[in-house]
Structures are given as structure tokens and as C-alpha cells.
Amino acid sequence: MDENEDHDHILYSSFNQDASCFVTGTEKGFRIYNSFPLKSNYERDLGGGIGIVEMLYRCNILALVGGGKKPKFNKNFVIFWDDKQEKIVSELRFESKILNLKLKKDKIIVVLEQNIFIFNFNNFNILDKFDTASNPHGKNIPIS
């Protein structure tokens, strides 16, 4: 196997809200899978790494953050991608790297190392901001 071969490694994976499907961020873009029965449903090559990808149920809008060896997007931006139109429809910018991200039908939750931001999904207005202790891996997000 050639060391320079262009592999499409998985960088991130998450289920949608009802676990009917899951999505993976890869070195080239993202893939969507059906959970039951388990099968590959869709693949999008964006020409760069996606380190975080979140779906809202089975909606065509996905939230993306760059990642991997050659990130497609800046790691400080949440990109809202409309896969039906194949284009960026909005973005949120932050002063530091995004470590985690979750979507609910009415909220966007963004985790930085020392902050959690909650936005309204309909208009992207900020609803709340919490300062936290250092959370370098962005884990254990309460989303209730």
C-alpha cells in the first residue's frame, strides 16, 4: 500500500435525533448511513476534511466544521450546508476552535474549550452563553 495514497478516514460520527441514520465526517467530506437496515445512503465529496458534522433529523441542512489533515472549512466556523442546493446557506464564527456541536429542532449548541453557546436555529440569534471550566475535548454536552 502506497503511503501517499489518498485515504478517506473517518474523523467524526454522530446519530441524528431519532437514530434513524448517522453521519460521518471524513478527510474528503461526509457520508450518511441508514441505521435500520444498516446501509450507506449517501456520500458528498467536498474536497476537504470535515471534523464535525451534525444532521437535524433527515433535513437537507447539515452543520459542518472543518477537520483532518486538509480541513475544508475553518475550525472556528460552523458552516450550515444545504445539501439539496449544494451550497453554504449560513455560518457562525467563533474566536477559538469548535470542539463539539449539537442540533435540536429549535437550537444550535456550540462548545468551545471554555464556553458553551446556544443559538436559535430559526434566526441564529444567540440565546445564551455559559463560561465553563476548561473542556479541551468538548465532551458531555447537556442537550435537554
- pLDDT tens-digit readout, 114-131: 999 999 999 999 999 999
| CA 45/CA 30 separation, integer angstroms | 7
pLDDT > 90: percent of the chain = 72
Cα atoms in the 13 Å half-sphere on the side-chain side of 10: 9
Residue whose entry in the numeric block shows the C-alpha cell 458534522:
53
Average pLDDT value for residue range 52-61: 91
| CA 129/CA 67 separation, integer angstroms | 24
Domains of the chain with CATH codes: 10-131 (2.130.10.10)
| CA 35/CA 18 separation, integer angstroms | 10
Whole-model pTM over 0.75: yes
DSSP string, 42-68: EEEE-SSBEEEEEE-TT-SEEEEEE-S
